[in-house]
Amino acid sequence: MATYLYKLGRFAFRRRHFVALLWVALLTLAGVGAASAPPAGNSSFSIPGTEAQRAFDLLEQRFPGMSADGATARVVFKAPEGQKMTDAGNKAAVEKTVKELGSGSEVASVADPYTGKAVSRDGTIAYASVKYNVSGMELEDSSRDALKESAGHARDAGLTVEIGGDALTTAPETGSSEVIGIAIAAVVLVITFGSLIAAGLPLLTAIIGVGIGVSAITALATPLDLGSTTSTLATMIGLAVGIDYALFIVSRYRAELAEGRDREEAAGRAVGTAGSAVVFAGLTVVIALVGLSVVNIPMLTKMGVAAAGTVAIAVLIALTMIPALLGYAGRTVKPAGEKSKLLGGGRAAKKAGRPNMGTRWASFVVRRPVTVLLLGVVGLGAAAVPAASLELGLPDDGSQPVSTTQRRAYDLLSDGFGPGFNGPLMVVVDAKGSADKKAAFAKVGDEIKGLKDVVTVTPPAPNKAGDTAIITVVPKSQPSSATTEDLVHAIRGKSPSIASATDAKLLVTGATAMNIDVSQKLNDALLPYLALVVGLAFLLLIVVFRSILVPLKAALGFLLSVLAALGAVVAVFQWGWLSGLMNVEQTGPVMSMMPIFMVGVVFGLAMDYEVFLVTRMREAYVHGENPGQAVVTGFRYSARVVTAAAVIMIAVFSGFIGSSEAMIKMIGFGLAIAVFFDAFIVRMAVVPAVLALLGRRAWWLPAWLDRALPNVDVEGEGLRTDSDPDGDRELVSA
């Protein structure tokens, strides 16, 4: 592989005009496609294999036109102090608002509070339910504006009015902190390279790669049913790995220049060595992201595949566009150790001197491996302790900041009707095979009324055919509580006895039940997903490092990083530690998909640093150095650039903490802290300590397996033994 990539790097360097034009053409094509594509709607959210989804599918068949998955809004009214919603003036204002709400073209129905018994017992709070024909993300802006305008008219009449539900759902905003993250990345690159030109190359190529990836996602959003949030993960991951991959190749290029090679040769060798590591690091990330499809949640699958495509683009750009741009940059990119005139006065590299920080640190670890290993493992173990209290759930309006109208509507409904009112359960009774359908409906209602934690059970609402009915159940507890989850399981537990007595089927659905099913599905998929992703990557790393223990150590170190990162997420978002600093206004359960999401993404990113750092160590080892010295050599050449890459990735992920969306904020924080733990504790401390303790055993591989594995030559051994570089030059030209 190293020889092939070497030739590719030299070709891209020499034919830089062609390569640059090709990528610019791809960016333009993707941009034109994105600009001409219709706006992305909300990806159809379905959870195959769950009871909640089967109930929704049944409602689509038996209640045509009901729009079971359509957007909903609850316009909540509160009377002025000392008044009631039943007072004539307040009632007139509400009825006028209800009439306005029903005039929208996308509105399916509006329930009047006074005819639908939607007034609290004390008469101070009432609500009107609005049902739309389309989902929240597909609503036209005009419908949202009409909803807000109608609420404004009621406020003008003296009422307190707030709006809840998913009708106000909009694409999340990341805020200015994302730009700050990119700015920090730029500063780190300038410090690392000592040159504005060299620092600008990784940023430029990463932005181009993300631009192509996100534009392609936008262009394909409608035919592939991609939601507007699909590109968020692609942007986050693509930007981080795009900068890192380019950083490693530019750093190796400067190191090759420092050894006296001409620029074309240096570009070829940089792509042949660091580029090989980039390919395998990118493959681990792609495996982890595409592997999300085993969860069988279409939305998660699409997010993973889209992000994986952006990572693949980042790898291709690093292998081709970086050497092409290095050709354009010429002498403005200095050899390692030299600074530009602007930043360092043009001083030359030092010929000899004090060992760099990476060398000194690695030498210390090699001398004290047990101490470093114990400190690293104990520290990560302490950070992981909060993970034992992990509670999972999906965000609802109760997790919104108190400054939002959705949260204020949620609180008003809780005050007026009880905390469970915000998470009603929809019980669907399929009595098509029952001899006495009305009796079956009544039987279900009576059974549910006898359960604990039930406040209200509405009368059955049958369809036109009379063979299916909907019963709404209001729990006592809030939607995200364990008590409500127990109630859902208790209702479903009645299904066998109902079927035995009436031949009717009972299904529980609704937003609350759907959240419970999603959480369970994600929990059930975690271990199979972990086995698949870690197993495939383990095999890949055996090929890369030609070792059994090194990939095993890499996988165990990753588990430490993930557990510690989950502990930090629990501490901040569930316990509320440092919540003010992170602008977390409402603590609560951790998002259900967070564990499996972090396992996938963090594993891929963790293997990036493993490949880049340990490849240099193996390169030194196979060239004759003893195991301890190989560890030091690997750090001498890689510690600085791996540190810079980690800081850049942390900065990019931290930028998403400023998002207005709780899910994006949590993902940004979780990935940033996971990269910190993995890069600076696991890879920089635990890994060298373990390798120092293992010695030559770290690189042991059974002879039969050594013969069976393909030789991918990540270390570039073939380049060192090549005595005819001119021959390669002619071959590439052909």
Q: What is the pLDDT of residues 555-584, one digit of tens each?
A: 888 888 889 999 999 999 888 888 777 777
Mean pLDDT of 673-681: 91
What's the CA gap between 496 and 499, in Å, rounded? 5
H/E stretch holding 260: none
The dihedral built from the CA positions of residue 54, 233, 386 and 554, taken in this order, carries a sign that is positive
Q: How far apart are CA 532 and CA 596, in angstroms?
A: 12
* Per-residue confidence band for 452, with pLDDT thresholds at 50, 70 and 90: confident
420 versus 729: the higher-pLDDT residue is 420
Does residue 721 carry a pLDDT above 60? no
For 298-313, what is the mean pLDDT? 87
Closest residue by Cα to residue 687 from 626, 648, 639: 639
Under a CB-based contact definition with an 8 Å cutoff, are residues 366 and 632 in contact?
yes
Give 43 or 430, the one with higher predicted confidence. Answer: 430
The model's pTM is 0.78
- 425 phi and psi angles, rounded to 5 deg: -100, 140
Cα separations (Å) of 643 from 457, 608, 678? Answer: 59, 12, 11
Q: Residue 358 pLDDT > 90, yes or no?
A: no
Per residue in 382-400, pLDDT tens? 999 999 888 877 767 777 7
**Cα distance between residue 260 and residue 175, in whole Å:** 46
pLDDT tens for residues 211-255?
Answer: 998 888 888 877 776 766 677 778 878 888 888 889 889 888 988
| Cβ-proximal residues to 371 (8 Å cutoff; 6+ apart), any chain | none
The pLDDT of residue 726 = 42
List of E strands, 102-244: 107-111, 125-132, 160-164
What does the pLDDT read at residue 734?
A: 26
